Amino acid sequence: MIIVYLLVLVIGFYALVKGADLFVDGSSNIARMLHVPGLIIGLTIVAFGTSAPELAVSTYAALQGAN
């Protein structure tokens, strides 16, 4: 059973790294297409993208009446 847990851990870590690469590449492409400095994209789109999961969980919990 420990092999399964380790395999899931490795797959999850790979997905996390690959997703981060895709996210950074995508935001860099958006910056180039809009002719906007990367700093501005980093302060807006990337900041929203990294905060969105926490916002979604908090909103769901509030709608369910949880603290």
Q: Is the pTM here over 0.85, yes or no?
A: no
DSSP class of residue 44 equals I
Domain spans of the chain, in order of start: 2-64
Please name the residues in contact with 67: beta carbons below 8 A apart, sequence gap of 6 or more. 61
Tell the residue number behind the tokens 């369910």, with chain if given: 64
- C-alpha to C-alpha distance for 61 and 55, rounded to whole angstroms: 10
pLDDT tens per residue, the chain (67 residues)?
Answer: 899 999 999 999 999 999 989 988 998 898 999 999 988 888 888 888 889 999 999 999 999 987 6
